[in-house]
Structure formats: C-alpha cells, structure tokens
Amino acid sequence: MGTTTLTIVLGYMTLTFLIGYLVSRKIGEKGSVSTGERNFSAWVAGVSILATYVSAMTFIGVPGWVYQSGMEALIIHINYPIVIFFVCSFFIPVFYKMKIHSIYEYLEIRFGYKARAINVAAFLFIQTISAALALYAIALLVSRILPLDIYECIVVISIFTAAYTYLGGIAAVMWTDVLQTCVLVLGFILVFYFLSQSVTMDEILANKEVVVDRLQVLDTSLDFTNETTLYAGLFAVAFLHLSVYGSNQLIIQRTLATKDLASARKSMLYVGYGMFFVYFLFSIMGVLLYIFYDGQEFVNANSIVLHFVFNNTNEIVQGVVITSLIAAAMSTLDSTYNSMSTILTYDIYKRFIQRDRAERHYNLIAKRFSLFCAVVLIGPAMLSVSNESVTKLIASFTSLFVGVRLGSFLLGLFYKKANETGVLFGTITSLVSLAVCYYSGLAWPWQAPIGTLVFIATGVLTSRYLGTQSEQNIRFIETQEQLFERPTQGQYGLLVFTLLTLVACYYLPRVVSFL
C-alpha cells in the first residue's frame, strides 16, 4: 500500500473521530446514549440503518457471489418492501409509543422478565460473535496498510471505534454512519466507473448469452435445498429479515432516536425502497466483472473486487475503496457497541442492580459499557486469527436463535392469550427444530420460518393450557392494539414496488437477449 492510500485511510479515521467529538460537545449531557435527544430526521436514521446493514461483505461478497452463481442471489433481497410494510405498522409504532430504550423492555411488560432475559442473552451472544468476525475482517485490511500486525490492529480498531461511540453515543454513531455511507457510495462509483471503462458494449454483446445467463434472477422450482428460489426469497428469507428489522435492537434503536413516530416509520421506508437498488447495483458489478475476467476461476470469490481494484485502478481509487470497506465494517462495529451497551445498561444494570437512578447516571454507565464491549470483543476476534474455523462454526449456531427472536415478538403482538410459559416452551422447541434443520441439508433460508412457526405453534398451545398472565400483562394487552398504526401511502407503495421489481427481474434478461 502506498502513502496515498494510507493518507486517505488516516484522513477518514480522523474525520470520524472529529465527528464524534463535535457531537459530544453539541449535545453535552442533554441526550441519552441510546436514543440521543430523540430529534433525528427520517433521512439520517434511514441512512444509518442502511449503513449498518450494508457491510464490507456486501461490497466484496455480493459481486463475488454473482460472479460465481449469477444474479439468482438477488432474490433473497426482493422481500425487503414486504417486511418493512409490516415493521412500520406494528413493531415501530409499539416500541416508539412506549418510549423505551431497549425493545426487550417490551417483552417484560408483555410476558415477564424471563422472556426478556432469554432474548437479551440471545442478542448479546449473536452480536458478540458477529461483531468479532467483523472486527477480524477489518483488521485483516488495516494490517496491510499500517505497520502493525493483525493482533495490534484488532486492539487499535476496537478501541478507536469505541472511543467516538463513547463520546457521542447514538448521535455520533448515526452521523458517522452518514459519513461512512458517503465514502461507501464514492468507492462504489469509482469502481463501477473503471469497470465500465474496461468492459465495452461490444464485449457485452459478444458475450450476450453469458450475460443473459448471469442476469437470470427468478427460479420457480420447488427445491428446498436451493437457497435462491423465488419461494425462498419471497417467503422464507422474509422471516429472517423481519427478525432483523422488527425484533433487533441494533436496527430499531435508530428509529427510537427520531423526532416523532412519522419520522421513525419514514426512516424505514428508505430501507424498503433503497435496499433492492443497493444489491441490484452490486450484482451488476458482479456481472461486469465476470465479462472482464472472461469467467476466470478464483480460489476465493470475495477477492475478485479487490483483485480488480489493485490491478486496474490507481492509488487514489485503491485508497477510497479500502476506506469504503473499513467504513462499512466500522459502521457495524459502532452500532454493535452502542446497542450492546444499551442492553447491558437498561436490561441488566437498571433492571437488576440500580433501578431508580437519574438518567444521567445510566448514560454514564452506558458509555462505560461501550468501552467494556470493545475490550470483550477483542478476545473472540483474536481467536479468529488463530482458528477462524472455530469462530465461524460458533457463528453458524447464532442462526438457531432467529425463531426465538422473532417468535417472541410475534406471539406478544398478535396472540392475546400468550404468556411467559408459552415463550419458554417455544424457545426450547424452536432451538430443537432449528438444530434438526441445521443437519438436515435444508437450505438456510427455510430455517427462519421453521424456527419461528414452531415457536409460535408451541407458544399458542402451551399458553392455552399452562401458565398465567400477571395483572401488568393483562392491562398492557388490553391497550396494545391502540399502539398499532394504519399503513401509509408510502407503505402501500412498497407492495407495488415489490411487484415492479419482480417484473423487472423477469424481463431484464429477456430485454438484453433482444439487443
């Protein structure tokens, strides 16, 4: 790596820290670490959500996947508008109107502290493993730029990210996410420009059959071992994405920081309309790379984008792309630190240790927990260096909790007779069913609906014959439906948008074949 690349990366990191510092000076002690001053506009929250979910692996992984298998992978991202339609009508209105810091507070009010504790434990476990892998991945990149080994990079990056998160809380996280999004977009534009200059229209037409084959998205087969069928994308993966956007503190926390409920719901519309285009454009990049390399085989598909960048662009572009990948990974890390510190503060510390202290006290505790999380994650990240396969094996087991995470909230929102006993039994049967699926050869998208539906079925049956509801549970259930909101025009537009994307995916290869 040259000095230009190093300068761009260091300049970006300096600007990121400066944003955290300026945000901390502006808000002082007025806002909450977890929700700020609840004054963010919809676009800031929406961009922050997009930045959190669009990781470094999106930048290099999606083009690599398409390079190997074609654009069938795009089908698993078709369901975002449908998912966001339901999130905006049920999940966000309930959480926002309750004025809670952690979405798991809802579960105690609805069921009891055991239901809350189960989901808190699942969240902390999942985020610890996924963030550790993200930290390891970014350290691999940074170790190629800075005169540090990978272990030192893990420590430096983790503490650096925690530092600006500590300074400004969720406000710093969201504004740095905006910066990170700008850098990511710039990196994409530069790579796409150089790629489009390298692949001419004549080459595309000369390889028309190959291009048409790569552009095929819709697979209507009923193969449950295939992860990219139409039914897996529209139905099965929708459960996974509903879990991510409806019952995930990492995402919902941004909507809770907006200035009003309308802004909270609108922020999610950016995701509903925008996510398809993100994955579509990265998929097209994969098709162009396939033409450029004439289908050459790579040992690791995730290296294809970087191979092109380092061999076919200049040092400035290389610096921006490396910075884009670092920015995407840091967006995931800072969001994790902030959400984990919120959970540790409000779901554990405030719930079990110090109940009645001023909000200023909990803000200080949350800041300290963000540093604590940064230190804790260094361990599993370093484990990935010496034994990556072990960490990835542990990470694969995090998918077992998707049914518990989503099922708990669906049961609470839509079945009035559900009680905590139903949640406990549903947790057991969901974990068992997903463990069976894990070793059955069933394609991974189907794990989410199976785990969720088994959880709900068990929860409904158990609640009918076992367990009781407390007076607090009953009072809340009687008023819960009043917290729901009717869909807006923008939400109905999401459903129309889904149909349009399906039509576009159907006709795209056919249009190219006629050229």
Answer yes or no: is pLDDT of 391 > 60. Answer: no
pLDDT value at residue 392: 53
**Position 398 pLDDT exceeds 70:** no
487: helix, coil or strand? coil
CB 250 within 8 A of CB 339: yes
d(CA 426, CA 401): 11
Q: What is the pLDDT of residue 145?
A: 77
Which residues are within 8 A (CB) of 73 and not within 5 positions of it... i.e. 6 or more apart? 62, 65, 66, 228, 283
pLDDT computed for residue 34 by the predictor? 81
Long-range pairs for 259-262: beta carbons < 8 A, 24 or more residues apart: 259/38, 259/39, 259/40, 259/41, 261/92, 261/93, 261/96, 261/97, 261/485, 262/42
Q: What is the pLDDT of residues 401-454, one digit of tens each?
A: 889 999 999 999 999 999 999 999 999 999 999 889 878 878 888 989 999 999
Torsion angle of C-alpha atoms 373, 376, 379, 382, degrees rounded to 10:
20
Segment 64-89 shows an average pLDDT of 92
Angle at Cα 463 formed by Cα 458 and Cα 469, nearest 5°?
145
Interatomic CA distance for residues 352 and 337, integer angstroms:
21
Contact 456, 410 (CB under 8 A): yes
Are residues 53 and 254 in contact, defined by beta-carbon separation less than 8 angstroms?
A: no
Taking residue 414's Cβ as centre, other Cβ atoms within 10 Å add up to 12
Task: Count Cβ atoms below 10 Å from residue 452 Cβ, excluding itself.
Answer: 27
> What's the pLDDT score for residue 132?
87
CA dihedral sign, ordered 26, 30, 36, 41: negative
- Greatest CA separation for the chain: 72
CA angle 429, 234, 499 (to 5 degrees): 155
Given a cut of 70, whether residue 30 has pLDDT beyond it is: no
How far apart, in whole angstroms, are the C-alpha atoms of residue 238 and residue 232? 8
- Range with the poorest average pLDDT among 15-24, 116-125, 267-276, 337-346: 15-24
> Are the C-beta atoms of 231 and 75 separated by less than 8 Å?
no
Query: What distance in Å separates the CA atoms of residue 254 and residue 397, rounded to the nearest whole number?
Result: 27
Tell me which DSSP letter residue 143 carries.
T
Asked if 103 and 249 touch (Cβ cutoff 8 Å), the reply is yes
pLDDT reported for residue 129 = 86
Q: Among 166-170, 298-302, 329-333, 428-432, which range has the highest average pLDDT?
A: 428-432
Q: What is the pLDDT of residues 483-512, one digit of tens each?
A: 999 999 999 999 999 999 999 999 999 998
Q: List, as one string, the DSSP characters of 297-313.
A: --S-GGGHHHHHHHHHS
Q: What is the 8-class DSSP label of residue 71?
A: G
Segment 277-295 shows an average pLDDT of 93
Asked if residue 460 has pLDDT above 90, the reply is yes
Query: pLDDT at residue 87 above 90?
Result: yes
372 dihedral zone (left: phi>0; alpha: psi -120 to 50; beta): alpha
Q: Kindly give, in sequence order, each residue whose CB lies less than 8 Å from that of residue 386, ignoring residues fewer than 6 positions away.
A: none
Which is more confidently placed, 386 or 411? Answer: 411
pLDDT at 419: 96
Q: For position 462, what pLDDT does the model report?
A: 97
What the block records as the tokens of 319 is 């610096």
pLDDT at 1 > cutoff 80: no
Amino acid 235: pLDDT: 92
Q: What is the DSSP string of 347-382?
A: IIIIIII--S--HHHHHHHHHHHHHHHHHHHHHHHH
Confidence at residue 494, expressed as pLDDT on a 0 to 100 scale:
96
Asked if 417 contacts 463 with a C-beta cutoff of 8 angstroms, the reply is yes
